[in-house]
Structure 1
Amino acid sequence: MGNKMTRRSFLKKSTIGTLSAIGAAYGGYYYAHDIEPHWLTVKADTIESNRLPSAFHNVKIVQLSDTHLGFQVTLDDMDNIVREVKRQNPDLIVFTGDLFDNPSDVSDSRYEKLIPILSQLKAPLGQYWIYGNHDHGGYGTNPIRDVMNASGFTLLQNDTVTLEREGETITLSGVDDVLLGDPKLDGLISTNQENGYHILLCHEPDFADNVVDYPFDLQLSGHSHGGQVQIPFYGYIITPLLGQKYVEGKTTIGQRPLQLITSRGLGTTRLPFRFLCRPEINTITLKTAQTE
């Protein structure tokens, strides 16, 4: 005959179960709010193309995106990010938008304190950046431009620059933010350049469906935060407009083809959590494709 559960043992087991559930919930909250948003990782990808000049073989690009300073990421966090970038020894550094979460709340002194931190970032092929939607929002267009310029970053706002190495060249272009700016793809690459190798910086990854009609080989984007919270067997929880199709990682589209890297970014927005979606610095190593 089985043992009959007493009222005392029932209450004891119920209490333990309740406390365990509360502990698990609190532990999950603490992890997603206080641990993972600051648990930086470096995501490495290799991009291969037969259009890439041999002088650019093994060139390393470091991409930073979506710091959203002021929401969860602090200036101390930025110090850690900069140290990690320097350890990567990049040939080219790019920032793909959303420096501050809400520029309207940022004091002049806070902008000024960021400049010596970002100024430590140097690369032989240069440092470039583009606007994100949060940069244009909250009257941030001009002050963020001034901070990035003072930090040694060159703005690409519907502009193209030629990068030269050992006598060979590729181009780097950047478009204005798609949601709150005025992006223009026409004219970034001239007809006589179409057979060369061309990189585009665009904050919103889903704009790649427009970019694929132009002679670009690589697009670097952010904006999506990788969904920020990922639930097993369910998927992404937070996906903004134009960051819902190409949410993270490497994707190849079109016939050229266009290779797209979508960064999870470094900060958070809307909700102060990351879960199964660590913030990342992206390193992209360019490789010249082997031909027969």
Structure 2
Amino acid sequence: MSWASPDPHPVPDLPARTPAAKALLSAVALRRRRWLWALGSLGLAGAAGAAYTRFCEPGWLEVTHHVVPLRPTETKPIRILHLSDLHASACVPLEFISEAVRLGLAEKPDLICLTGDFITKHFADWNAYAAVLKPLAAAAPVFACLGNHDGGKWAARPAYGGHADHRAIRSCLAASGVKVLLNQSEEIRLRSRRVRLVGVGDLWGEELHAAEAFGASAAADLTLLLMHNPDGKDAVAGFRWDLALCGHTHGGQLRLPWLGTPFAPVRDHRFVAGLNRWRDRWIFTTRGVGNLHGLRFNCRPEVSLLTLN
């Protein structure tokens, strides 16, 4: 016969759960599952949004059409293909730029205008790039201005590391048949109208010299201004022009609900994208073809066709 010593710390019997306690525990568990489901859904939505921003929208080109009402005329409207911010780079391959060119030429333009930022940093495949751009000059007269990424004071900063001057991009454009207007102007005839094209240097590169670009007053039926950055409008306000074609903004690149375009690199956000009236003239800012860092959200890359009445 053995004797067992009593347990010095006996475990009390747990009372049976009441229906009210069971209901409370069930509600807590359901609420926890709902929170976990919500957190999981948010994570999936965030991942999907990030994938769309990186892999879908940057390659989803959109052809847009805009009618610019100018002075009444009996001549046929002039159709302008406007491309900007091609940003040839690892993020924007030449094949994608070639597709933008193809889509633009399918619109049968009378004139083609390119408004800068052809490259990002130290792009170097110039022969291949010229071959991509050559079909433009075979279809219509092509004029261009340069942007802050194309070389010069802004691009050469150590923080960016681009080309110190424009020689490489200008040679590439010349080889492709594109006429660069760097603080210069040229007059052509289109649809029985005398059209003056004025191209200014880049604002950020401190190369925008309006008086040099416009020169002596010229009596043209229509004056088109090629200006990379729409913030340059105040520097050219004292000169006669009817329509400014701009880029630079990428349309904001990331257009956020409720916040708009907080990342657009301009002071005046009225001219981030689209056709807008300014004083007695028009400014058109295209969203551009390329991008920086391979990202776009709610702001598709754009091939712009403008009809001038």
Find the aligned partners of 2:46 and 2:191 in 1 and give their Cα distance.
57
| Matching residue of 2:117 | 98
1:151 pairs with 176, 187, 209, which one?
Answer: 176
1:190 aligns with 2:216: yes
- Opposite residue 83 of structure 2, the aligned amino acid is L
Q: Which has the higher contact order (CA 8 A, sep 6+)?
A: 1
SS in 1 for 2:210: coil
Task: Give 1:185-264 correspondences, 5 Å limit.
Answer: 185-186=210-211, 188=214, 190-191=216-217, 193=219, 196-241=221-266, 244-254=269-279, 257-264=280-287
> In 2, distance between residues paired with 1:151 and 1:29?
37
Q: CA contact under 8 A between 1:82 and 1:118: conserved in structure 2?
A: yes
1:215-239, Cα deviation, whole Å (9 max, x unpaired):
1001000001111111122111212
Structure 1 residues 1-292: aligned runs within 5 Å: 3-4=23-24, 5=26, 9=30, 12-50=33-71, 54-55=74-75, 57-102=76-121, 104=122, 106-107=123-124, 110-122=125-137, 125-136=140-151, 137=155, 138-139=162-163, 141-165=166-190, 167-186=192-211, 188=214, 190-191=216-217, 193=219, 196-241=221-266, 244-254=269-279, 257-269=280-292, 271-287=293-309
Distance 2:266 2:28 in 1: 54
Give distance in 2, aligned partners of 1:198 and 1:125. 18
For residues 53 and 209 of structure 2, the distance between their equivalents in structure 1, rounded to whole angstroms, comes to: 38
**Residues 54 and 118 (structure 1 numbering): CA distance in 2 closer, same or farther, change over 3 Å?**
same
What count of residue pairs does the alignment treat as equivalent?
277
Matches of 1:101 and 1:274 in 2, distance apart? 16
Question: Deviations 1:242-280 (Å, cap 9, x if unpaired)?
Answer: 5644211111112xx2110011111222x4321111110
| Identical columns (%) | 28
Partner residue, 2:15: none
- 1 CA distance for matches of 2:197 and 2:147? 17
Displacement over 6 Å in runs of 4+: none
Question: Deviations for 1:147-197, whole angstroms, at most 9, x for unmatched residues?
Answer: 11111100001111111135531211101111114222225253352x632
Mapped to 2, the partners of 1:192 and 1:268 lie a distance apart of: 36
Q: Provide the rounded CA distance (Å) in 2 between the counterparts of 1:45 and 1:167.
A: 22
C-alpha distance in structure 2 between counterparts of 1:67 and 1:147, whole Å:
14
Deviation per residue, 1:134-158 (Å, 9 max, x gap) = 0022115111111111111000011
Residues 96 and 242 from structure 1, CA distance in 2 versus in 1: closer, same or farther, beyond 3 angstroms? farther
Q: Secondary structure at the match of 1:121?
A: helix
* 8 Å contact kept, 1:212–1:253: no
Alpha-carbon distance between aligned partners in 2 of 1:226 and 1:166, rounded to the nearest angstrom: 31
Q: RMSD between aligned alpha carbons?
A: 2.3
Counterpart-to-counterpart distance in 1, 2:190 and 2:115: 23
Comparing 145-154 and 177-186, the one that deviates more: 177-186
| Bigger Cα Rg | 2
TM-score by length of 2: 0.82
Comparing 4-13 with 243-252, greater Cα deviation is found at: 4-13
Unaligned 5+ runs, structure 2: 1-19, 156-161
- Decide whether aligned partners of structure 1 residues 3 and 160 sit closer, same or farther in structure 2, where only a CA change above 3 A counts: same
